[in-house]
Amino acid sequence: MIRTLLFATAGSATLLLAAFAFQYLGGMAPCKLCLWQRWPHASAVIIGLLIMLTGEIKLAWLGALAALSTAFIGLYHVGVEQAWWEGPTSCTSSGVSGVSAQDLMNQILAAPIVRCDDIAWQLAGISMAGWNALISLTLAALWVEAARRA
């Protein structure tokens, strides 16, 4: 159980560190949805550390919830990248029909540097958001396994 807990905690820490490495070492600024995916990983790391300090294994259910949260945000992000659905208007393009020239100019000036519907990097045809979702689902299973053994 301790090994499972360590793997789950280390998995979120590794994904979080990888995100920062892509950002600060690779020069790939995160979009809004990328940033949203980081918070549950940080929570999972804190939960894992709390469990190790207190021995309260039942908290592993919260770790599972955190991992599932980032997995679902990642899946949502993949859908935005693939244009299966529209993402947040603050980081995607929704077209210009019905928009006045002044409103369009305001949108352009207020637009973020990084768009959520652009795939910045992928491996084996899977984007970073997709990998986050897949790995996070695995981490959620580890958290559940640790919690069930409590």
Q: Is 126 helix (H, G, I), strand (E, B) or coil?
A: strand
Cα(5)–Cα(68) distance, integer angstroms: 15
Percent of the chain with pLDDT over 70: 86
Report domain extents, the chain.
2-87+99-148
pLDDT at site 104: 63
The b/e string for 120-129 (b: 16+ C-beta within 10 A; e otherwise) is: beeeeeebbb
Q: Is the pLDDT of residue 10 over 80?
A: yes
Q: Is 73 exposed, middle or buried (0-12, 13-18, 19+ CB in 10 A)?
A: buried
Dihedral angle of Cα 67, 68, 70, 76, to the nearest 10 degrees: 160
**CA dist 148 → 20, 61, 115 (Å):** 32, 9, 40
pLDDT band with cut points at 50, 70 and 90 for residue 74: very high
Cα(135)–Cα(119) distance, integer angstroms: 18
pLDDT band with cut points at 50, 70 and 90 for residue 130: very high
**CA dist 24 → 109, 134, 138 (Å):** 25, 23, 26
Token couple for 17: 């560190």
- Ranking 32-46, 57-71, 84-98 by mean pLDDT, the lowest is 84-98
Give the pLDDT mean for 67-83.
93
Token couple for 43: 């929570």
Question: Domain 2-87+99-148 has what CATH class?
Answer: mainly alpha
